[in-house]
């Protein structure tokens, strides 16, 4: 009885204070597809006897560009082994899946990106040779997209953003064309508490950095991407009409983007919005950021090929789940000569 109470208390503390993978909106019922063992050839039917299909799945997954990086690593395997790749985020749901179809599609990958092959899921699940990936992120996988020329090449050639998203990107890009634009990715909310991840910058740091760049480089506009409402308000108050940002993006001062559902197709929109912001950051003249999968994807898009990139290096958070919850907040209060955050910039 005591052990049961202890476990319940431990789970309550974890749920209350530690970062958790968001819940799925729905879970697929067990069927022949999602019950299959990974890394083994499965026969579903008699079609395509001379082809081996490689089903890339990740459930529940994490951030959108973390999922993209996972897909790229498996796409690299598929190409080496001459398998035909396809991403199945329909039978293996992610945190971005909606309970209803988006543009007639239940596959969350194809909400945002084109199919990796000319085959549809229904064709593959009638074929003779199908291999499923598992959910593991292998130790030999690439963890930083911008550091792998091979995966950047795959990203640019194989990951095709849907036409409706590209159309909106072109519309928003007109606002920064003919301007000298400083792009900023200002991470907040959950990133302050993520074990082992790079520490995000503080408002004090970011204000000093941006002031200095505005003075030296004479930028006419600042494109800001941030998920934290307080950070957006800070920039608007400090820089006024120099600020450009996507107004419909969901922002909060809490880590609640996947915990609440404030608008129609909310989770789908979260993924769509981060793609648009990432592409727009890639189109700016200078890009200031802390390392993340989003900044890596922005660099990989390489839309403005003359872009200068500036990394804010605050070091990494503790890998200990408990210490990681408060360490950023503690160091934020300290002077920079007493273990507080110093301004360290790296041009990459």
How would residue 27 be classed by pLDDT, with cut points 50, 70 and 90? Answer: confident
In this prediction, residues 237-249 reach a mean pLDDT of 97
- Those residues with Cβ within 8 angstroms of residue 43's Cβ, 6 or more apart along the chain or in another chain: 128, 129, 130
- Taking only the tens place, the pLDDT of each residue in 102-120 is 999 999 999 999 999 999 9
CA 63 to centroid of chain Cα atoms: 4
Q: What share of the chain in percent tops pLDDT 70?
A: 94
The pLDDT assigned to 58 comes to 96
Q: What domains lie within the chain, and their CATH numbers?
A: 18-132 (no CATH), 163-347 (3.40.50.11350)
How would residue 1 be classed by pLDDT, with cut points 50, 70 and 90? Answer: low
Whether residue 196 contacts residue 319, with contact meaning beta carbons closer than 8 Å, is answered with: yes
- Taking only the tens place, the pLDDT of each residue in 29-88 is 889 999 999 999 999 999 999 999 999 999 999 999 999 999 999 999 999 999 999 999
Residue 6 predicted with pLDDT over 50: no
- Those residues with Cβ within 8 angstroms of residue 267's Cβ, 6 or more apart along the chain or in another chain: 25, 95, 96, 97, 98, 258, 261
pTM as predicted: 0.94
Structure tokens at 26: 């729905």
Residue 329 predicted with pLDDT over 50: yes
């Amino acid at each position: 009885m005591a052990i049961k109470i202890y476990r319940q208390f431990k789970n309550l503390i974890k749920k209350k204070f530690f970062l958790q993978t968001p819940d799925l909106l729905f879970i697929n019922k067990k069927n022949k597809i999602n019950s299959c063992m990974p890394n083994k050839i499965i026969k579903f039917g008699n079609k395509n006897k001379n082809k081996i299909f490689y089903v890339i799945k990740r459930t529940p997954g994490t951030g959108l560009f973390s999922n993209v990086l996972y897909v790229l690593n498996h796409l690299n395997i598929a190409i080496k082994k001459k398998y035909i790749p396809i991403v199945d985020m329909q039978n293996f749901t992610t945190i971005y899946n909606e309970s209803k179809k988006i543009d007639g599609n239940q596959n969350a990958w194809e909400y945002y990106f084109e199919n990796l092959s000319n085959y549809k899921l229904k064709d593959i699940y009638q074929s003779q040779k199908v291999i499923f990936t598992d959910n593991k992120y292998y130790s030999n996988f690439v963890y930083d997209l911008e550091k792998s020329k091979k995966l950047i090449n795959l990203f640019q050639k194989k990951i095709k953003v849907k036409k409706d998203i590209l159309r909106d990107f072109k519309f928003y890009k007109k606002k920064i064309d003919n301007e000298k634009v400083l792009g900023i990715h200002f991470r907040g909310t959950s990133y302050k508490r993520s074990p082992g991840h790079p520490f995000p910058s503080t408002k004090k740091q970011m204000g000093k950095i941006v002031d200095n760049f505005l003075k030296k480089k004479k930028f006419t506009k600042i494109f800001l991407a941030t998920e934290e409402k307080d950070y957006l308000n800070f920039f608007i108050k400090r820089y006024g009409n120099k600020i450009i940002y996507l107004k419909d993006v969901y922002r909060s001062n809490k880590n609640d983007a996947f915990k609440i559902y404030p608008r129609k197709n909310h989770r789908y929109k979260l993924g769509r919005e981060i793609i648009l912001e990432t592409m727009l950051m890639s189109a700016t003249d200078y890009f200031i950021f802390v390392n993340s999968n989003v900044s890596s994807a922005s660099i990989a898009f390489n839309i403005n090929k003359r872009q200068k990139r500036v990394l804010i290096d605050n070091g990494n958070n503790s890998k200990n789940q408990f210490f990681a919850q408060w360490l950023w907040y503690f160091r934020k209060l300290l002077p920079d000569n007493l273990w507080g955050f110093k301004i360290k910039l790296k041009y990459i």
